[in-house]
A and B are shown apart, each in its own frame.
Chain A
Amino acid sequence: GAVVSQHPSWVICKSGTSVKIECRSLDFQATTMFWYRQFPKQSLMLMATSNEGSKATYEQGVEKDKFLINHASLTLSTLTVTSAHPEDSSFYICSARGRLAGGISSYNEQFFGPGTRLTVL
């Protein structure tokens, strides 16, 4: 249980275009989803936290108008990179926590997706 998927697994786009990445919780209700960015040979940096039905909370230094996050349902959050540029090329990972099967709450544990490799040409 507690499986998180991401789509697409990789995407290549031209500079100036927008790209949408989906994060889905497959077998539990994700009340909170987190979006991370990971540059090569670096650690994961939290970009934003989104609670279902609420606006996302962005970390300091992350442009909310550039990285649009929507968490409209308990199983889906999307990250849209608007007007992408080569410096936005990165590995984007989502994670989720929430109500697992049997009503157990995973408040303190996040379940991670497999990541999406974005390359902006």
Chain B
Amino acid sequence: AQSVTQPDIHITVSEGASLELRCNYSYGATPYLFWYVQSPGQGLQLLLKYFSGDTLVQGIKGFEAEFKRSQSSFNLRKPSVHWSDAAEYFCAVGSYNQGGKLIFGQGTELSVKP
């Protein structure tokens, strides 16, 4: 069955520290992947996306992610976290034979310590 796993439910990092949020997927077909951020009571904001090509993807707000097919992973990274990055982060995966449907991971809540 197709699935997306974000192993970390909650992560706390200090402001200025680096960040890595994990995302692993299980898909039968070639996937395309997204990372979204959601602040409380708000909708989703797209951080970055991967369809094909260069496996290191740059996004907004200084985020990047690397698609590793051999590890079925699409981890999100940021070299220096800002207090405003505190939010919920969702990884989502789709495939070209699924009619555009996305499967979302459970989410990782990021807290930032001053």
Please determine whether A108 and B96 come into contact, CB atoms closer than 8 angstroms. yes
Which residue, B36, B51, B101, has most C-beta atoms of chain A within 10 A?
B101
Please determine whether B42 and A115 come into contact, CB atoms closer than 8 angstroms. yes
Please determine whether A44 and B96 come into contact, CB atoms closer than 8 angstroms. no
Residues of B within 8 A of A32 (CB): 99-100
Interfacial residues, chain B to chain A (CB-CB below 8 A): 32, 34, 36, 41-44, 46, 49, 51, 90, 94, 96, 99-107
Interfacial residues, chain A to chain B (CB-CB below 8 A): 32, 34, 42-46, 49, 91, 93, 97, 107-110, 112-115, 117
B104: which of A44, A97, A107, A113 is its contact (CB, 8 Å)? A44
Dominant secondary structure of chain A at its interface with chain B:
strand
A44 to B105 alpha-carbon distance, docked (Å): 8
Please determine whether A93 and B44 come into contact, CB atoms closer than 8 angstroms. yes
A59 to B60 alpha-carbon distance, docked (Å): 32
Please determine whether B101 and A93 come into contact, CB atoms closer than 8 angstroms. no
Residues of B within 8 A of A107 (CB): 100
Please determine whether A113 and B107 come into contact, CB atoms closer than 8 angstroms. no
